[in-house]
Amino acid sequence: MGTKPYSTPEAIRVDDLYKSFGTHDVLKGVSLTALEGDVVAIIGGSGSGKSTMLRCINFLETPTSGQITIAGEPVAMRPDGTPADRRQLERIRQSLGMVFQSFNLWTHKTVLENLIEVPVHVMKCPRDAAIARARKLLARVGLAEKEAVYPAFLSGGQQQRAAIARALCMEPKAMLFDEPTSALDPELVGEVLQVIRALADEGRTMILVTHEMKFAREVASHVIYLHNGLIEEQGPPEALFGAPKSDRLKQFLKSVS
């Protein structure tokens, strides 16, 4: 008997995803697969459906139809796309770390309190263990000395690094980034991208909606170009950025270069 070839497990799979807001169809049947350790970058113009696609993966938006599978487990959905099993959804959500455009830190809590809130109160992690882990992660994103500071006293770049550390505190199986640098002043973008790059280097699974083309080209293992709710072109970054096939993608890359 020959041994089975080793294959990398799937971390996230999206099949034939549709999303409408009223009569407006935002996603028109998109699919993606991210294996463990993949970094998938989603690019496209504004209104192409990038953020909606990302938000449907952890049900911040309810898909109209389609199937979402996380670590081999399909999310139970009713025919209208709403989750059929709240407890399953909460469990799966905890395995996905989400980082938003606008940081979303609790302003009335210190940086450390922001990091331990969900592990202690939702995941029932012992407080001491949660604090030890939070401190380790703050050191990793260069914020060790900021644990007692409130978000209002941090720069945008520091707030976003704290938000990334907070997502990592949940020990997620995969990270979802929704344009993590778009709200930042240009001089602060680099420090956030550096943290994301380090996560990619250590083999974390990530799906990243970004308008930073150079970063997508250097860090992603797979790039998806969305146009008008459909995948216009996808493949390895060197193919999409180096030899784009679609005229729309050529045009888009010209407009953002």
Complete edge-to-edge strand list for the sheet that includes strand 39-43: 96-99, 174-178, 205-209, 39-43, 222-227, 230-235
Cβ neighbours for 112, distance < 8 A, ≥ 6 positions apart: 131, 134, 135, 138, 147, 148
Looking at this protein, which amino acid is placed at residue 54?
A: L
Complete edge-to-edge strand list for the sheet that includes strand 24-35: 24-35, 10-21, 65-70, 73-74
Contact at 8 Å (CB) between 101 and 178?
yes
More confident residue, 103 or 57: 57
Contact at 8 Å (CB) between 13 and 66?
no
- pLDDT for 80 equals 86
pLDDT cut 70: percent of the chain above it: 98
Q: Is the pLDDT of residue 2 over 60?
A: no
Number of Cβ within a 10 Å radius of residue 124: 8
Structure tokens at 237: 């970054």
- pLDDT for 4 equals 46
Contact at 8 Å (CB) between 189 and 212?
yes
Structure tokens at 58: 């952890």
Question: Considering only CA atoms, which of 170, 159, 85, 160 is closest in space to residue 121?
Answer: 170
Looking at this protein, which amino acid is placed at residue 140?
A: R
Number of Cβ within a 10 Å radius of residue 89: 18
Domains along the sequence of the chain with CATH: 10-95+174-256 (3.40.50.300), 104-171 (no CATH)
Secondary structure letter of residue 154 according to DSSP: S
Question: Considering only CA atoms, which of 207, 92, 199, 220 is closest in space to residue 137?
Answer: 199
More confident residue, 247 or 1: 247
Cβ neighbours for 50, distance < 8 A, ≥ 6 positions apart: 42, 43, 44, 179, 209, 226
- pLDDT for 113 equals 97
pLDDT digits (tens, 9 = 90+) for 191-239: 999 999 999 999 999 999 999 999 999 999 999 999 999 999 999 999 9
- pLDDT for 1 equals 47
- pLDDT for 6 equals 63
- pLDDT for 7 equals 83
pLDDT digits (tens, 9 = 90+) for 70-123: 999 999 999 888 899 999 999 999 999 999 998 889 999 999 999 999 999 988
> By three-state DSSP, how is residue 49 classified?
coil
Q: Is the pLDDT of residue 132 over 60?
A: yes
